Amino acid sequence: MIEFMGKQLKNPLIASSCFATENVANVLRLAENGVQGAILKSCADYERGEVIGKREFAVDPTTGYTYASSPFKAEILTMEECLKMMQKLRSLTEILLIPSVTAASLSPEDWIPACRKLEKAGADGIQLDFFYMGNLIGTDGLSRRTVTLLRELNSVLHIPVMPKLNISLPKDYIMPLLVEGGVQYVSLLDSVRSPYLRKTDNAYHISDCLDAETTSCFGHWQLPLTIGYTYTAAKYGLKVCAGGGITCADDVQKLLAAGAVTVQSATFLTRYPDRGNNLLLSN
């Protein structure tokens, strides 16, 4: 058994915040197939308007190259949507439920009300999704503001917060700040923006340009980055929910060996929601 956020887990597999965790039916399907926890699709406190365009998820069958493309408001749940989902799931399953929250700044007042609502709805922990805030490195007072946010959240909540990192927050810079802020758990590694696939005449090809506003990419090439972040976080005593580049059970074992307590999958579980056990069985 594995202890994570106060729950005893039969295996280390967690579903990442992704298409596979954006509604109740998807999460229940994962739970029925052995997934021990779900990080829900990130939410923000806004009103949903009309969305131009659509989300897409593509996998090149030859290379395994994957991508997701979406305008912000198609990608992010509203707070009301997430609360309804949390309340429904809490009445139907005992798996680890971790809603994910994002905001427009590092000001505690932009995070605390949402986190309190999600805690009341039955969350076991809350993922702090910094991905949608852009590149924070170089902004004034970043270290101080990060530590202040984490300390204030820890002071008002009775459940843990788990920052979600990406490579815009260098591992040797951010880990000491998480510890200083009183964080015990860390989620990584978020997708990395890079050239993506374009669909033409029902066929996909790699684009020659980058749409930095709507596109993020992830794949097996990301795994070395994830291993590096995992090793560094574990060195600082953080409990890691590691993901980013996982495609098979051997990848999972590499992350556990690097110090992860749990591992998270987005791409694999989106493609194969009934085959989570494949990520736990090494060849």
CB atoms within 10 A of CB 166: 21
Answer yes or no: are the C-beta atoms of 46 and 78 closer than 8 Å. yes
186 pLDDT above the threshold of 90: yes
149 domain-assigned: yes
2 domain-assigned: no
3 domain-assigned: no
Position 130 confidence tier, pLDDT thresholds 50, 70, 90: confident
Separation of CA 221 from chain center = 18
Which among 120, 96, 65, 30 has a CA at the least distance from the CA of 241?
A: 96
246 domain-assigned: yes
Which among 185, 38, 11, 29 has a CA at the least distance from the CA of 99?
A: 38
Number of domains the chain contains: 1
Q: Give the CATH number for residue 216.
A: 3.20.20.70
End-to-end CA distance of the chain: 22
Strand partners, 192: 217
Candidate from 1-15, 24-38, 266-280 with smallest mean pLDDT: 266-280
Range of the domain at 271: 8-279
Report the pLDDT value the prediction gives residue 131, as an integer from 0 to 100.
Answer: 76
pLDDT, averaged across the chain: 86
**Mean pLDDT to the nearest integer, 112-117:** 97
1 domain-assigned: no
**Mean pLDDT to the nearest integer, 11-26:** 94
Give the span between the Cα atoms of 241 and 236, in whole angstroms: 14
Give the span between the Cα atoms of 242 and 186, in whole angstroms: 8
Query: If 0-12 CB within 10 Å is exposed, 13-18 middle and 19+ buried, where does residue 281 land?
Result: exposed
Position 92 confidence tier, pLDDT thresholds 50, 70, 90: very high
Give the span between the Cα atoms of 274 and 283, in whole angstroms: 19
pTM given for the model: 0.87
Name 167's Cβ contacts closer than 8 Å, sequence gap at least 6: 189, 192, 225
Report the pLDDT value the prediction gives residue 207, as an integer from 0 to 100.
Answer: 60
